[in-house]
């Protein structure tokens, strides 16, 4: 790891990312990072609303990436 960061930098990064997602019509509610016993990332589960569809009803999804 090259440099130390604090939690406020992480929060700022996530807030900026979320604004971009919302501009694209994706409203993220929750992200779950799954790790194994060695802390290796094994998956990411996203819970979100996709407001890019032409339907008037919003679509809620949960998807593992």
- The confidence score (pLDDT) of residue 56 equals 45
Phi, psi of 52 (to 5 degrees): -90, -10
Residue 16's pLDDT is what? 97
The strand order across the sheet containing 26-35 reads: 26-35, 41-50, 59-64
Residues of the chain under the 50 pLDDT cut:
56-57
Domain-wise residue ranges, the chain: 7-64
């Amino acid at each position: 790891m090259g440099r130390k960061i604090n939690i406020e930098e992480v929060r700022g990064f996530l807030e900026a990312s979320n604004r971009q997602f919302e501009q694209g019509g994706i409203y993220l509610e929750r992200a779950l990072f799954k790790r194994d016993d060695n802390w290796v990332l094994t998956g990411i589960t996203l819970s979100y609303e996709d407001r890019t569809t032409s339907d008037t009803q919003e679509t809620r999804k949960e998807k593992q990436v």
